[in-house]
Amino acid sequence: MRVVLVLGPSTGGIGGYVRALAEHCVARGDQVVVVGPAATESHFSFTATGARFVTLSKLPAALRGADVVHSHGLKAAALTNLVRAGRRRSRRHVVTLHNAVLATGIRARIASLVERLAVRPADVVLCASSDLVQRATALRAREVSLCPVPSPPLPAPTRSRAEIRDELGVPDDESLLLTVCRLAPQKALPFLLDAVAILGDVILGAIPVRLVIAGDGPKRGALAARIEAEKLPVTLLGHRSDVSDLLAAADVFVLSSQWEARALVVQEAMHAGVPVVATRVGGLPELVGDAGLLVPANNALAFAARVRSILADPDLRDKLRAAGPARAATWPSYTESLAVARAWYT
């Protein structure tokens, strides 16, 4: 098949997934063209998979002669549908929804228009979580299916737990909390800082913890200012490529997001056997099940209490360390998940 994969700006999960799909399709003999912002090619090197890459300005030409076009995200799907309107359509348009719309006010109304433009003309809409399936169905998509996005296999750690903790400046008497995310509003990191402050509250029974945040984004400056002003035990690491090492050193993985589908970092933490505390949002309940601890979004006290329960109870900690990999073993493999997506191309 001649396959066209379309995406918008990405430095994380969507770009990584599109790259994996390109590699998967090329390996099966497909002619693959990836269409996206020039920065995505610099970041993900789609051409290294054997695919051809063109920028979004060349989308109309890329669609000519395509057997299937697979758009990732609302903006990419809406743009593809606009380009396809009024001309002979490619044989099939598959759309994958990776994220929910979290905007409010006038932005929410604009986003709702983009949603309809992205979803309704598509031949099939694949959704990364069940709540997105419900949303696409409500938008009157022609055909909808759950198609979870898997995390790619992580390499083995290259350094010992002690070496990593020493690099991070975490003494033996402190517990290490880890989160890996983009420093953006969706991740609700101020709420996570609230939870860390509660864990350090003497009146509530302080416990020594250090939170390290791997990732970068627009909220870095505001987070750094608050950490400094309140003298919080939090370290901003910036972008890291050694997530396997960080997980090997962590006592608890934490995620405070307002919404997630099947957060890749939570999948990675569970595969690695790191106890997880996360918010009960989006697709996380169906992902985590009883192999992690979930709390309502924006409830810092409950979040801190769940973290404390793991750190204070060795039996619970050991139970969750075993439960994560056991649940992860029930998920489809990375290759199987890619094959499920490609099966919708015909």
What is residue 288's predicted lDDT score, i.e. its pLDDT? 97
Q: Identify the pLDDT of residue 259.
A: 96
The predicted structure's pLDDT at residue 167: 95
> Does residue 66 contact residue 84 with C-beta atoms inside 8 Å?
no
pLDDT at 101: 87
Please, are residues 270 and 276 in contact by the beta-carbon 8 Å criterion?
A: yes
User: Would you state the pLDDT for residue 203?
Assistant: 82
pLDDT of residue 86: 66
Where in the sequence is the domain holding 273, given as residue range(s)?
A: 161-328
Q: CA-to-CA distance for 269 and 160, rounded, in angstroms? A: 17
Does one domain contain both 168 and 303?
Answer: yes
Instruction: Judge whether 56 and 9 are in contact, CB under 8 Å.
Output: no
Burial class (CB in 10 A: 0-12, 13-18, 19+), 245: buried
Q: Answer yes or no: do 169 and 144 share one domain.
A: no
> Does some domain include residue 316?
yes
pLDDT at 90: 56
Side chain identity at 177, as an amino acid letter? L
Q: What share of the chain is helix, strand, coil (3-state, %, to 5)?
A: 45, 20, 35
Closest by CA to 213, choosing from 190, 201, 202, is 190
pLDDT at position 53 is 98
As averages over each run of 10 residues, the pLDDT of the chain (346 residues) reads 96 93 98 98 97 97 94 96 76 93 84 94 96 96 94 92 95 96 96 97 89 97 98 97 96 97 96 98 96 97 97 97 97 93 96
Do 219 and 207 share a structural domain?
Answer: yes
* Domain co-membership, 113 together with 20: yes
How confident is the model at residue 143, as a pLDDT?
97
Strands of 2-7's sheet in order across: 52-55, 31-36, 2-7, 68-72, 93-97, 124-127, 144-146
Q: The domain that contains 9 carries what CATH number?
A: 3.40.50.2000
Q: CA 266 → CA 10, 47, 187, distances in Å?
A: 19, 29, 13
Residue 196 shares a structural domain with residue 276 = yes
